[in-house]
């Protein structure tokens, strides 16, 4: 029996739900081509960071100020402000080159946390050919003066600013640390987000004892991390008017299947591709297909969300009741 693995994400039709998440593996045309050849359904480019844009603009501004003090002859060597592409040209070139080289959708990623002029780059992403924009809002509210209402408004303003710039779909990659995640998800979609990418994986710093130093410490994920996205996708499926992408901890066909059953429209991979290489996509697609055929599912559309909170026989499983059950069921030989 053949299984129809197609899915829709942000209005884009994908041949199956497995997407390459933003990582160094999506950062060059060569590796993007390898990912496409390995069968990935879409790619998210590594992020262009707010800081890179602001830095570029500042550098150009300084150049212009300096240029203004030069003789007219010397000034001729400086480009006109409006003609000078102050934006991060390399990134826009990557979008254009990726679009030329690939037939699968290309999602460009913008990463920032403060509303400001930098968000206008979204229009250039669109003009460069991006099929969609992933806006990664990576913000740590470390000030004791920042209230949760202010922090939430910052997200909403950012999403509104980016979606106003671009006519292509914008999906928002957020952290799970909101007091009211479901409400926040609904507000993000009302502000213009066509999708949500759940969740941003905050990289926690570590202390290196030998050096007495705080280090950024990037470790790749394991399947244990999957359940955070699993729970929230299951809760949000059917409750928000947005595509849902899962990111964080998908490594095996079972991981992908669980996220689809919870209600993910697509499953994004970074760590598993970085550790196992692009050919791992094929292993996942074949594994998902085989399991679905064995269970007599005919399509991803049929299976998607069948264990979301709204559809599953035990909605409490996603709530506090399950937490109490889990604590009570723990047994150890030492207790």
Ligand X SMILES: Cc1cc2nc3c(=O)[nH]c(=O)nc-3n(C[C@H](O)[C@H](O)[C@H](O)COP(=O)(O)O)c2cc1C
Binds ligand X by CB under 6 A, chosen from 7, 36, 124, 221: 221
> Six-digit token pair at 316?
């409490």
Verify binding: residue 24, ligand X, rule CB under 6 A: yes
**CA 8 to CA 264: how far, in whole Å?**
10
Binds ligand X by CB under 6 A, chosen from 7, 21, 171, 243: 21
Verify binding: residue 181, ligand X, rule CB under 6 A: no
User: What is the per-residue binding string for ligand X in 121-150, x denoting contact by CB under 6 A?
Assistant: ---------------x--------------
Shortest distance, position 245 Cβ to ligand X, whole Å: 9
**What does each C-alpha distance from 249 to 31, 47, 228, 245, 252 come to in angstroms?**
22, 19, 9, 13, 9
Verify binding: residue 159, ligand X, rule CB under 6 A: no
Q: Which stretch binds ligand X (CB under 6 A): 160-168, 241-249, 285-293, 303-311?
A: 241-249
Verify binding: residue 163, ligand X, rule CB under 6 A: no
Alpha helices in 77-197 (DSSP H): 89-101, 121-128, 148-165, 181-190
Compute the residue count for the chain.
Answer: 335
Q: Tell me, rounded to whole angstroms, the distance of Cα 297 from its chain centroid.
A: 28
Verify binding: residue 230, ligand X, rule CB under 6 A: no
Provide the CB-side half-sphere exposure for 270 (13 A, CA).
22
Verify binding: residue 42, ligand X, rule CB under 6 A: no
Shortest distance, position 22 Cβ to ligand X, whole Å: 4
Verify binding: residue 189, ligand X, rule CB under 6 A: no
Query: What residues pair up with 170 in beta bridges, in sequence order?
Result: 133
Verify binding: residue 194, ligand X, rule CB under 6 A: no
Verify binding: residue 270, ligand X, rule CB under 6 A: yes
152: left (phi over 0), alpha (psi -120 to 50) or beta: alpha
| Cβ-based neighbours of 326, under 8 Å, separated by 6 or more | none
Binds ligand X by CB under 6 A, chosen from 119, 126, 165, 247: 247
Which CB sits closer to ligand X, 60 or 258?
258
Q: Which stretch binds ligand X (CB under 6 A): 16-24, 55-63, 83-91, 304-312?
A: 16-24
Verify binding: residue 23, ligand X, rule CB under 6 A: yes
How many residues touch ligand X under the rule CB under 6 A: the total is 23
Q: Which stretch binds ligand X (CB under 6 A): 33-41, 63-71, 159-167, 267-275?
A: 267-275
Verify binding: residue 52, ligand X, rule CB under 6 A: no
**CA 52 to CA 47: how far, in whole Å?**
10
User: What is the per-residue binding string for ligand X in 94-113, x denoting contact by CB under 6 A?
Assistant: ---------------x-x--
Which residues of this chain interact with ligand X, rule CB under 6 A?
21-24, 46-47, 109, 111, 136, 173, 201, 218, 220-221, 247-250, 269-272, 274
């Amino acid at each position: 029996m053949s299984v129809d693995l197609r899915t829709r994400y942000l209005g884009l039709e994908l041949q199956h739900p497995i997407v390459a998440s933003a990582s160094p593996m999506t950062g060059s045309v060569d590796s993007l081509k390898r990912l496409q050849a390995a069968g990935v359904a879409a790619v998210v480019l590594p992020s262009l960071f707010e800081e890179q844009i602001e830095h570029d603009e500042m550098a150009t501004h300084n150049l212009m100020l300096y240029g203004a003090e030069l003789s007219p002859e010397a000034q001729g060597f400086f480009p006109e402000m409006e003609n000078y592409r102050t934006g991060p040209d390399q990134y826009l070139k990557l979008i254009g080159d990726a679009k030329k080289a690939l037939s699968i959708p290309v999602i460009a990623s913008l990463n920032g946390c403060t509303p400001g002029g930098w968000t206008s780059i979204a229009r250039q992403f669109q003009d460069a050919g991006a099929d969609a924009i992933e806006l990664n809002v990576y913000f740590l509210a470390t000030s004791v003066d920042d209230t949760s209402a202010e922090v939430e408004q910052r997200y909403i303003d950012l999403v509104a600013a980016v979606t106003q710039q671009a006519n292509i779909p914008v999906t928002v990659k957020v952290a799970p640390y909101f007091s009211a995640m479901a409400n926040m998800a609904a507000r993000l979609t009302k502000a213009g987000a066509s999708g949500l990418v759940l969740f941003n994986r905050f990289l926690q710093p570590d202390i290196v004892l030998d050096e007495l130093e705080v280090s950024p410490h990037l470790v790749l994920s394991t399947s244990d991390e999957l359940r955070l996205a699993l729970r929230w996708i299951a809760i949000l499926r059917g409750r928000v008017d947005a595509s849902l992408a899962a990111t964080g901890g998908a490594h095996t066909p079972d991981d992908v299947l669980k996220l689809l059953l919870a209600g993910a429209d697509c499953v994004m991979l970074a760590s598993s591709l970085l550790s196992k290489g692009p050919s791992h996509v094929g292993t996942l697609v074949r594994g998902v297909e085989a399991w679905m055929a064995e269970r007599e599912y005919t399509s991803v559309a049929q299976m998607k969300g069948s264990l979301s909170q709204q559809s599953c026989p035990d909605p409490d499983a996603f709530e506090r009741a399950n937490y109490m059950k889990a604590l009570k069921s723990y047994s150890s030989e030492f207790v």
